[in-house]
Structure 1
Amino acid sequence: MRYFRCLKFAILGISISISLLVHAQEKGKSKPDPKSLKFTKWTPDFEVPNPVGISFDDKTGAAYVSATERRKANDLDIRNNRDWIPKDLSFTSSEEKRAFYHEQFTVENSEKNRNRVKDYNDDGVHDLKDLQALSDRIYKIEDADDDGLADTRSIYAEGFTDEIAGIAAGVLFHESDVYTTIVPDVFKMRDTDGDGKSDTRKSIAHGFGVHLAYAGHDMHGLTVGPDGRIYWTIGDKGLNVTSKEGLNFKFPNHGAVLRCVPDGSNFEVFARGLRNVQELAFDQYGNLFGIDNDSDNEGEKERFVYIVRHMDAGWRSNWQYRRPDYNPWMAENMSVPFRPENQPGHIVPPIRLYENGPAGLVFNPGTALGPEWENYFFHTSAPNGQQWAFQVQQKGASFEMVNDMQIGNGIPIVGINFGPDGALYGVDWGGGYPLNEKGAVWKWDVEEKNPKIRDTTEKFLAEDFSEIETSLLDDYLLLPDQRVRLKAQFELVKRGELEAFEKLTRIPLDAKQWQFREWGRRGVIHAIWGIGQINRNSDQPNFRSLIDLLEHDEAEIRTQAVKTIGEQFGAHLAVHEVSYPKQQGLFDERTLLTRKIIPLLKDDSDRVKFHAALALGNLGIEEAAQPILEMIDALDDVNFPYLRHAAAVGLTGCASTDFLVGVYDEDFELEHQVAVDALRRRADPAVGKFLNALTSGVCEDAARAIHDDWTIPEAMPELAAALETTKLVRSEPFIRRATNANLMLGKAENAGRVAAFAVKTDVPEILRLDALDALAKWTEPPVLDRVVGRHREHDPRDPEIARDALRPRLGDLLTDQNTKIQTGAMALARNLKIDIDPNVLVAVGKNPQALPALRIEAMRGLAAQKKPAELSEVLGQIWNTPQPEVRVAALEVTAAEFPEEALEKIRVILESKVAAFSEKQAAFRLLADSPVASESGDAILKNYVDDIKNVPAEIQLDLAEAAIARKIEGAPEPDFSHTLAGGDAKAGEDIFMNHIAAQCIRCHKVQDGKGSNIGPNLKWIGRKKDRAYILESLVNPGAVIASGYGTISLTLKNGDSVAGQFRSEKDGVIEIRDPEGKITKVKSDDVKERTPVITTMPPAGLILQKREVRDVIEYLASLQAPEKKK
């Protein structure tokens, strides 16, 4: 490590005088040691209730912490309101959601809303006022006595009580203003009188949070970009925002990265198709990264993403509710890193999969912590209390993660940020995400720090740069800490110092010593960014110095120059349907810039080519179209996603429809892909041309473009017609959409086309069944689309259309060699009220070799056709069948058609010692609600209620529920003790994997490789633990916490704090694994205060019905994996 004082040198007549400590590091820095980081509770004397984000006033060192009271309480979670899913997905703006709330939360609906919102204002009703009862807050926290620990906490802002307000997830202090993100607004506040409280508040952007969606999928991640704009994220609650400039950004089903200038103008959707990126981080070159949360599907992981302008990462909130049905997100490989095949061409996939539960993310600005941590990102995984660090290195036009390591464990930290002192700070919610009024701010730092460089940085950050001469501010752009450099850059921008920036761009970067080259590179890059800011603020931007830099020797300087030029334009490309590009006159400034940039498409650097193509799209001059197309001809797999994206954006902005359609005549698949993506972005029906492309991937992309999102109605007939002409009969993405296109159009020719496809024997079974499903739904298509789950309303259709299509093909379907097709056809005929020869149904129903599902359908068909004699004939034989599911179906049909006979059969089943428990459960269920629910049935229930102690445990829950439903005297109240036995393991597995509220797979694994490590692996739970243990773990997870999976915080009598993973407490000693991974033992007598051992697992009893709990217990009890031999 070397330091330089009073460094003076002259370059191109610029006198650079740096009378300060310059941070210069030797190459070959030591590898960072996670054990060198020490965690300290920065707020030991008070709670910081439910904190989410943290930001610092670098001048005073005060921390601003956003904290929530509304999460799941006033900011409702769709998982607790599952019956609203279709309605929620219908909203296209936050105001539509508001109108729905006003309809729903009335005094008259109070009882209906009891389980949706508590009576927070104690007025005796559950109404809209209760959604306005709680407010999130911004706290101001200070270390007044400068002893290294915070000692004061005050409320800076509150009163965020809009009925549709989300949570205060993001907070940012920037140039005396405090910003916070609270759906549906981004607020800008200031304390003008110095009393520590905001007294001005203004919404600078509005229209966020279209859906209820999942709690926590709000806006977060406020940060300042190197271009001086405010950046933040929103989860898949979505947005519909009109900017001050009149552009409408309508992405109700997308998560996104957003930006605007500090006054709210020039709002733009920077990137979209994300699910829930919580915090953002720019590196030293202005590259933007985030970690996206997964959707809790089995086998899915979180995603580390390099976020670039205009990207679509693929996620839509309507994917969330597709389980266990066809889910494009998983089935079409949108959730995984780049795959050359079987992945949509319009998405930009993640760099890599990463750790569970991502929350905080920040980049070391240069002098924080120690030199060994330079250029590291820091990341928190909140639910499991882990912290991580990693670096990135360039890989083609993108990046790869390197040197990733775990640096802490045991404190569930959410948001993080660096303080002006160079330490890293994070907020701890107090375990999981409960509203428990607990929380703290933690500080972690290296043991051996360099106080000199950090103290100097801290002084710079506290200094008032408005009083510093321009010549000295120029020097500051060379300093090692990015926060100082940006502060100087922004001040020079305020002064309009274009000339100063232009001089800095001429610094030569060929010094022999790498440190001098690095300082100069910093100065040039910040000068480029500053020029971009000045140009953005000017009616007459000046690009001369940036044009010169397009030929710079260093690729990174060329990259920054072309990127900055492109950033001046292109907001119109960020809307949901891009307008056809309007060409300017024969020659204007954009044409000049275009001609200067086109040569960069052949640059040796892929990174330069990437930003050149984006810039050309933003500029929108048609002569760039052919060079962009030529650029992608020689791409390798490494660069496919990003250069493909850049080319697609480029063509979106500058190519005519004729040009894009003409690409069809080329024979290169990648050219077809980018043309389809460009047409998709413009919602251009000409994309239908590519439904007949030579490669399946391009055809599938064209189908997605027409069918998904808002659809392209004019091209829908082409997609529908492709069902009978395409050769891609085995392509699930294509055929499902083509089938669905026919259903959406709904005409007779469409129904005939679908029926004809169902008969084909050379196509996959699943696609034939899908065609039958489309016909079954023909009369009333589902409000949530069959393929993508998007809300789409259709007028009812004449059922005769589907009948006419099915009749001539029904015989072939019923005699198909595939019994699933036979079953589906039989069910379809019944639903459409098409009679099948009763003799055929009898033969099938009596055939013991037929599939159970087929025999069941035959029974139902006879019942629907009102053929009692034939039905009785079948039932007479079915009672002896060995399959219990067939006998259960027979009992249900009998109850509906022959109630008296069914009552007698129920008596026999309940008294039988050989009947399956599923039959007995069905018997009680029918006694509660079916034609056999009667006085005679009640008498049966009464007999079993009076003798419930002798009723097998497997059917006690069913008896109790039936008796309560029929108001039988002495009926026991169903409780969780009735759930220990009698479940359906298969149904339990489905709940474990797919239930949108329980989300078991989100935190657990049941086999190696799939699931999450937030909670323990359960693959052996049924062998090691009994059912009582499993039940208690489900309904009272805090009572039984597996070692190492709960967190605890101790305040000792000597004032110290200890927190981490709780290991055990015995013989008066508490054992904790601290964030550094070290086992710490604390005597119980030395503890002044402790938090309860906290698990992030929610009580299943609050989420699942008792029958569902019983099924999950049955499934978990079946997990009997053997231990690995040591």
Structure 2
Amino acid sequence: MFASLAPRVAFVPVALVVMCAPAHGWALVVPPTTHGESTAAPPSPTAVVDACKIKPVEGLAKSTVATYPLIDDPVAFCIDEQGRFYFAESDRQERGIEDNRSSSWWLLDDIASETVEDRLAMYRKWEAKREGGMAYYSKWSDRIAQLRDADGNGTFEHRSDFAGPFNEPLDGSGAGLLAFDGDIFYTNIPNLWRMRDADGDGVAEFTLKDSTGYGVRVALRGHDMHGLTIGYDGKVYWSIGDRGYHVKTPDGALLHDPRAGAVFRMNPDGSELELYYTGLRNPQELAFDAEGNLFTGDNNSDGGDKARIVYCMEGGETGWSMDYQTLEGANQRGPWNQEGIWHLRPDLAPHKVTAYSPLQPAWTLPPLDHVSSGPSGLVFYPGLGLSSRYDNHFFLCDFLGGDSYSQVLSFALEPVGAGFKVVDEHPFVENVLPTDVDFGYDGKMYITDWGGGWESGEKGELYAVWDATRVADPRVAQVTQLFAEGFAQRDSDELAALLAHADRRVRQRAQFALAARGNITTALLGDVAQHGTDHFARVHAIWALGQQASRNLRNSSNLEAGSLSDATSAIDFVLPLLHDRDALVRAQAARMLGEARATAAVTTLSDLCADDNVRVRAFAAMALGKIGAREAVPAIVSMVAENADRDPFLRHAGVQALAWINDSALLGELSADPLPATRMAAMLAMRKLRDVRLAKFLNDPERTIRLEAARAINDIPMPSLRAQLADSITRFTSAPSPTTTSNAAAVASRNHSFTREVWKLTRAGTVADLSDTALFAKTPDESKELPVAAAPRNAGNQYIARIRGVVEAPLTGEYTFAIASDDDSILLVGTSDDPSTLRAIAHVDGYSEPGDYQGQPGQRSQPIRLEQGKRYAITALHAEGGGGDHCSIAWTMPDGRVEQPIGVAAVDQSEFPHMRRAIEACLAEGTPATATLLCDFALTASNPMPMRIEALDALGAWTTASPRNRVNGMYRVIDGKARDVAMLNAVLARKLAPLAENPDALLRSTARDVAVKFGVSLDPDASLRAVSDSTLSSAERVSSLRSLAGDTGGRLTVGLDAALVSDAPLLRAEARTMLLRNNDARALALLSDASASGTIIERQRAIQDLASLGGSSGDAALTPLVQQLADGTLDAALCLDVVEASTSRNEGAMHTALERWKISLNDSAINRYEAIALEGGDAVNGRTIVLYHTSAVCMKCHAIQGSGGNAAPALDGVATRGDARYLLHSLIEPNEKVAEGYVNAGASAMPSMQTVLTDREVRDAVAYLKTLQ
């Protein structure tokens, strides 16, 4: 980056360069050109306290340490040994560092990127979208600032720009800093930098690019490279978000994954760069606990998932892919949501299990807990400065865009098996917008505050929090002195004593200093490790011995006399500790011996695979894997088998060990083991090794193992095995009923009862009626017992109804209830069979499609624990206005089976993930055989209806498939134009007809749509009957009408005539459209009449159809409408449609009228929106926009029925707070009026939707918000 720029120092003494430079050389760094040096008069102590907005827990002091301009847009910070602060500052947020949500035009290019060079090519491809072209990316800069407190009064008076500007197109964000032994490490995509200020003037003269190739995608802003920290082993660790990486290591290896976030580590000199953990979304910071375990906070995707605390166990994967972020609607977040990858396990978080899926993949490691909503900075308490309550506690920044709802949280972790659970979670500092948190050597906690919002804005603060009594502890002053003076010059005995210091940072630096002295200190360290009385002194001594042994192992190719014996000596001191009484000591000894590749430890490590302590077992197994101990495989397998897949962290230890040992023959033998847990471990090890033999597991007798094989082939992916995955769908076409439960308890438990009561009204039933207890207290007009929890469809208009009864739980565990209805409904469930215990748990706003139990966030309840055999009251309240109507209740049982509605045979969804992947494989293979397989799958009545429809949808996409995997959104191209349509038609002609006559309406419609697309003839008489059948849905009748398009027997004419006089507006509109396409002479007159006098939806469709007419006929039909627009007499629901229809036409009178309308708006954007977006929107599409739009991301901050963010007001009942104009203004001018309770946060962090949504999307969003009563 800096090679072509003039150095700050013209002449640097050669001796200085040699002294400062690592083996592969430093480069001179450009002088900063942004802020330069600055000084400021410090505020008075009183002013500091008065101006400090933050609210720490009771008893702590606080102060404002620095504000803008001394600190400017701080993302992260670090503190060096001399107490100087360094800040990673970014002015480029949405000003050079972009986000797919605001640059959606390049999404496909982004998810196709594999290298940073691909990303640069994408920028150049789309540079016309940026003001100034490619220069746009370099207008603003990131930088590193250094702040110094020259007089030691606790506030900074001096600032210098340590390094920068960082403003190459590929740069940013600069989001991680680490000060270590005179070097400053800095993560700024695409590079990991190391810098040094040799002369102490606050400016780096030397810089080195340790590695490059990070950030191959844009993804989301903030998903950068960060988390720099020093590990227990003296290595530098850091993290990256899901922007991916393509990095060549110094030893020539390639680290490549364009989809996931990860953790890396290397030696401080840049050597031995390796991948440590992967599958993360955005691990902003990393922190080790006192035992050397690594953790991070990973944030949620605004798709109903939760932010997580993750234990980064070496070699593990969390399971996130950047592609998931872009999946919305029915496939929102793909497997991440559908297979519960982010869910908690009840054994790890029994106090907070809000969701758990039995489908959670075995190849992933589950989160420990759901903590915070916007995890950012993370630090582990070093041991001094606070009360003993905070021993072994972490502090986590929860960044939510505004200080009034952001905070710094504190929590601790306790071991559970080979993993951990979160305890003592609570707010520690509130009213702060924190990006990073750390402890100074003075005992104080320091917190950077972004200053408000999500984008750069020339603002920021640094705060301090401390316990006045405890920072006066003499040991705190000692810490400051120790770091200022350094450790390298200290006596070995003094350093050995410091291994027991109360401050973990002191212990660590003493460890590193002793380790660096080699064989001179080995015996001293061995004595502390074996005979020390302080636990932490022993642990640090073990780690120091491990550093010595590992260093000698690295140097073994160039041995000096005695070096090998030195390594052996370090190992010899640790070997006896494998028998130590302290389980934590045994665990660390095992870990160190594995990293030192100590073959002498194999026998004892094998024994430890059966240790009483589960964490010891895990470390022993992984140590054996690192050693490559083939002879230890029986011990590892025995551990895996005994675990029986119960503890996922212990299973991972065994799997990782097998993968590291990498004995192909042994894995082949294990794949045939009679125990499922052993075969699962073999399968997962093969996945890690990309071993093609894993395809054999597609036929394993265990469902979970078959599913893991399907996941590996599709998700990695492994294209050479795709045909076998496609063929595995035959399991679901030959089995008698793979999805109907055979659980005896569930079959026997049908002791439910349901009654439906109806109260007829003389007006439309509304959501307000559902809270009118007087209405439901009256004698119902109808009352009927129901066999299942579902009302008959299309039962009438203008009524309210109640389904009430009791359900009996067939199993003990967590149940999720759901409701579907047309129109509004509320679902209530009791804690017993007493109706007085009923409470509302879910609802439908407006309406949902029949059988759609998850289209709205409020439709599904949180998990509710029920006990087997116990009966519970249940009630659904339902309001109906007019048109179609239905109401039904479903539940998902603890074992993952679903009854939709309650009372029908349960559907086992456990095969859904395999089915989805097999369907995708059939589509991708694209052969006559796989087309036949999809048809056979759809024809198999025992297969679940959603998957049968998915198979038909895949057939419909045969020649027009998206370049994205249907399961996980991964980029993969299918050349549909090269496919043989005649072949497909031959298959469809043989197979499709029965599906078009299926009793299920949606399956019938989907089959007909496929037939229409490919010109396959179906029974035209059946289609004609469907067009005229008023009991069918509008969608099915439209589909049937379309299927008549190719009929030559006169049925199309009959069908069109029937449709034109039908009771369904959508069907009438479709008939007019088809007449226009067929050049029917009646079309123009019918469309003109409909544009003036039909229902709103018909008038809108007619205007769109008229717009498609060229020439004078279209102009003549549209001009009167445009004149009405200009006169202010046009129905408001049609204004947008008329504007869109007339904008590109040049007819004189029309153009004049349109210009007259524009003038009336007074060049005001809000006036224009009020004219076109208050009425006429599609609430159904509006719901999709509010819930799923990838650029608007409404649910990132807002919530509906408890689902979503908490950084902005919940949208429940938003329509009662104001009219449509109020709702519109909240979208276009969000700062015009800030909601009560959020005023103190300052300007709203919400951007105007004017730059995010199209006009039509704004109108639809308003229509949906109007339904939220």
Q: TM-score range by the shorter chain?
A: 0.7 to 0.9
1:537 CA displacement: 4.9
Q: Please, which of 161, 178, 196 is the counterpart of residue 172 of structure 1?
A: 178
Q: What is the correspondence of 1:254-269 to structure 2 with a 5 Å cutoff?
A: 254-269=260-275
Cross-structure match for 1:654: 661
2:887 is aligned with 1:887 = no
Q: Please, which of 956, 980, 983 is the counterpart of residue 798 of structure 1?
A: 980
Q: What is the correspondence of 1:324-343 to structure 2 with a 5 Å cutoff?
A: 324-326=329-331, 327-338=334-345, 341-343=358-360
Cross-structure match for 2:1169: 976
Query: Aligned partner of 2:131: which letter?
Result: K
Query: Following the alignment from structure 1 to structure 2, what is the Cα–Cα distance between the partners of residues 33 and 154?
Result: 30
1:148 CA displacement: 0.9
Determine if contact 2:319/2:341 at 8 Å carries over to the other structure.
yes
Q: For residue 195 of structure 2, give the secondary structure of its aligned residue in structure 1.
A: strand
Q: Please, which of 1192, 1200, 1207 is the counterpart of residue 998 of structure 1?
A: 1192
Cross-structure match for 1:247: 253
Query: Following the alignment from structure 2 to structure 1, what is the Cα–Cα distance between the partners of residues 1052 and 1116?
Result: 24
Cross-structure match for 2:788: none
Question: Is 163-172 or 714-723 further displaced after alignment?
Answer: 714-723
Cross-structure match for 2:365: 348
Cross-structure match for 1:56: 79
Question: Is 936-945 or 790-799 further displaced after alignment?
Answer: 936-945
Question: Is 465-474 or 865-874 further displaced after alignment?
Answer: 865-874
Query: Aligned partner of 1:477: which letter?
Result: L
Q: What is the correspondence of 1:112-131 to structure 2 with a 5 Å cutoff?
A: 113=129, 117-119=130-132, 127-131=133-137
Cross-structure match for 1:820: 1002
Cross-structure match for 1:1082: none
Query: Following the alignment from structure 1 to structure 2, what is the Cα–Cα distance between the partners of residues 880 and 423?
Result: 78
Q: Please, which of 1040, 1044, 1047 is the counterpart of residue 1233 of structure 2?
A: 1040
Determine if contact 1:37/1:407 at 8 Å carries over to the other structure.
no
Per-residue CA distance 1:507-546 (angstroms, 9 max, x = gap): 47899xxxx5445445545544544554465324432222
Per-residue CA distance 1:464-503 (angstroms, 9 max, x = gap): 222222221121111111111222222223322x452443
Query: Following the alignment from structure 1 to structure 2, what is the Cα–Cα distance between the partners of residues 226 and 279?
Result: 16
Unaligned runs of 5+ in 2: 1-54, 346-355, 557-563, 740-908, 1159-1164
Query: Following the alignment from structure 2 to structure 1, what is the Cα–Cα distance between the partners of residues 662 and 634?
Result: 8
2:386 is aligned with 1:369 = yes
Cross-structure match for 2:618: 610
Query: Following the alignment from structure 1 to structure 2, what is the Cα–Cα distance between the partners of residues 296 and 986?
Result: 20
Per-residue CA distance 1:867-915 (angstroms, 9 max, x = gap): 5954343222223333333333334333333476333223322322xx3
Per-residue CA distance 1:600-625 (angstroms, 9 max, x = gap): 10111100111111222222232222
Cα 1:982–1:523 change in 2 (3 A) is: same
Q: For residue 179 of structure 1, give the secondary structure of its aligned residue in structure 2.
A: strand
Per-residue CA distance 1:76-120 (angstroms, 9 max, x = gap): 211122132222111111122223333443xxxx3xx1xxx333x
Determine if contact 1:664/1:693 at 8 Å carries over to the other structure.
no
Determine if contact 2:56/2:429 at 8 Å carries over to the other structure.
no
Q: What is the correspondence of 1:421-460 to structure 2 with a 5 Å cutoff?
A: 421-451=442-472, 452-460=474-482
Query: Following the alignment from structure 1 to structure 2, what is the Cα–Cα distance between the partners of residues 1044 and 721?
Result: 57
1:252 CA displacement: 0.9
Query: Following the alignment from structure 2 to structure 1, what is the Cα–Cα distance between the partners of residues 320 and 529?
Result: 44
Q: For residue 922 of structure 1, give the secondary structure of its aligned residue in structure 2.
A: helix
Query: Aligned partner of 1:302: which letter?
Result: A
Question: Is 407-416 or 542-551 further displaced after alignment?
Answer: 542-551
Cross-structure match for 1:581: none
2:588 is aligned with 1:560 = yes
2:274 is aligned with 1:282 = no
Query: Following the alignment from structure 2 to structure 1, what is the Cα–Cα distance between the partners of residues 392 and 1037?
Result: 66
Cross-structure match for 1:710: 717
Cα 1:444–1:1031 change in 2 (3 A) is: farther
Query: Following the alignment from structure 2 to structure 1, what is the Cα–Cα distance between the partners of residues 1169 and 1153?
Result: 18
Q: For residue 686 of structure 2, give the secondary structure of its aligned residue in structure 1.
A: helix
Q: For residue 501 of structure 2, give the secondary structure of its aligned residue in structure 1.
A: coil
Query: Aligned partner of 2:306: which letter?
Result: K
Q: What is the correspondence of 1:138-177 to structure 2 with a 5 Å cutoff?
A: 138-177=144-183
Cross-structure match for 1:629: 637
2:989 is aligned with 1:807 = yes
2:933 is aligned with 1:753 = yes
Query: What percentage of aligned pairs have identical amino acids?
Result: 30
Query: Following the alignment from structure 2 to structure 1, what is the Cα–Cα distance between the partners of residues 432 and 1017?
Result: 65
Cα 1:369–1:720 change in 2 (3 A) is: same
Query: Aligned partner of 1:271: which letter?
Result: Y
Determine if contact 1:156/1:196 at 8 Å carries over to the other structure.
yes
1:208 CA displacement: 0.7
Q: What is the correspondence of 1:599-748 to structure 2 with a 5 Å cutoff?
A: 599-635=607-643, 640-711=647-718, 713-726=719-732, 727=735, 728=738, 731-748=911-928
Question: Is 156-165 or 445-454 further displaced after alignment?
Answer: 445-454
1:44 CA displacement: 4.1
Determine if contact 2:110/2:122 at 8 Å carries over to the other structure.
no
Q: Please, which of 491, 500, 512 is the counterpart of residue 469 of structure 1?
A: 491
Query: Following the alignment from structure 1 to structure 2, what is the Cα–Cα distance between the partners of residues 942 and 737?
Result: 51
The number of aligned residues is 995
1:412 CA displacement: 0.7
Query: Following the alignment from structure 1 to structure 2, what is the Cα–Cα distance between the partners of residues 745 and 44?
Result: 60
Query: Following the alignment from structure 2 to structure 1, what is the Cα–Cα distance between the partners of residues 494 and 1215?
Result: 70
Determine if contact 1:227/1:533 at 8 Å carries over to the other structure.
no
1:293 CA displacement: 0.7
1:777 CA displacement: 2.0
Query: Following the alignment from structure 1 to structure 2, what is the Cα–Cα distance between the partners of residues 706 and 44?
Result: 53
The answer to which structure, 1 or 2, has the higher relative contact order (CA under 8 A, 6+ apart) is: 1
Query: Aligned partner of 1:118: which letter?
Result: E
Cross-structure match for 1:302: 307
Query: Following the alignment from structure 2 to structure 1, what is the Cα–Cα distance between the partners of residues 1072 and 268?
Result: 68
Query: Following the alignment from structure 1 to structure 2, what is the Cα–Cα distance between the partners of residues 816 and 917?
Result: 33
Query: Aligned partner of 1:394: which letter?
Result: P
Determine if contact 2:515/2:545 at 8 Å carries over to the other structure.
no
Query: Following the alignment from structure 1 to structure 2, what is the Cα–Cα distance between the partners of residues 294 and 317?
Result: 12
Cross-structure match for 2:1259: 1110
Q: What is the correspondence of 1:1010-1089 to structure 2 with a 5 Å cutoff?
A: 1010-1046=1203-1239, 1061-1062=1240-1241
Cα 1:168–1:655 change in 2 (3 A) is: closer
Query: Following the alignment from structure 1 to structure 2, what is the Cα–Cα distance between the partners of residues 439 and 650?
Result: 47
Cα RMSD after superposing both structures: 2.4
Cross-structure match for 1:874: 1055
Query: Following the alignment from structure 1 to structure 2, what is the Cα–Cα distance between the partners of residues 443 and 758?
Result: 63
Query: Following the alignment from structure 2 to structure 1, what is the Cα–Cα distance between the partners of residues 1040 and 508?
Result: 74
Query: Following the alignment from structure 1 to structure 2, what is the Cα–Cα distance between the partners of residues 246 and 900?
Result: 72
Query: Aligned partner of 1:403: which letter?
Result: D
Per-residue CA distance 1:626-677 (angstroms, 9 max, x = gap): 211110222277x521011111111112253343343344343322221111
Query: Following the alignment from structure 1 to structure 2, what is the Cα–Cα distance between the partners of residues 69 and 450?
Result: 35
Q: Please, which of 317, 322, 343 is the counterpart of residue 317 of structure 1?
A: 322
Cα 1:900–1:226 change in 2 (3 A) is: farther
Q: For residue 78 of structure 1, give the secondary structure of its aligned residue in structure 2.
A: coil
Query: Aligned partner of 1:602: which letter?
Result: A
Query: Aligned partner of 2:1223: which letter?
Result: I
Q: For residue 415 of structure 2, give the secondary structure of its aligned residue in structure 1.
A: strand
Cα 1:371–1:849 change in 2 (3 A) is: closer
Question: Is 421-430 or 438-447 further displaced after alignment?
Answer: 438-447
1:33 CA displacement: 8.7
Cross-structure match for 1:495: 517
Q: For residue 52 of structure 1, give the secondary structure of its aligned residue in structure 2.
A: strand
Determine if contact 1:493/1:530 at 8 Å carries over to the other structure.
yes
Question: Is 536-545 or 469-478 further displaced after alignment?
Answer: 536-545
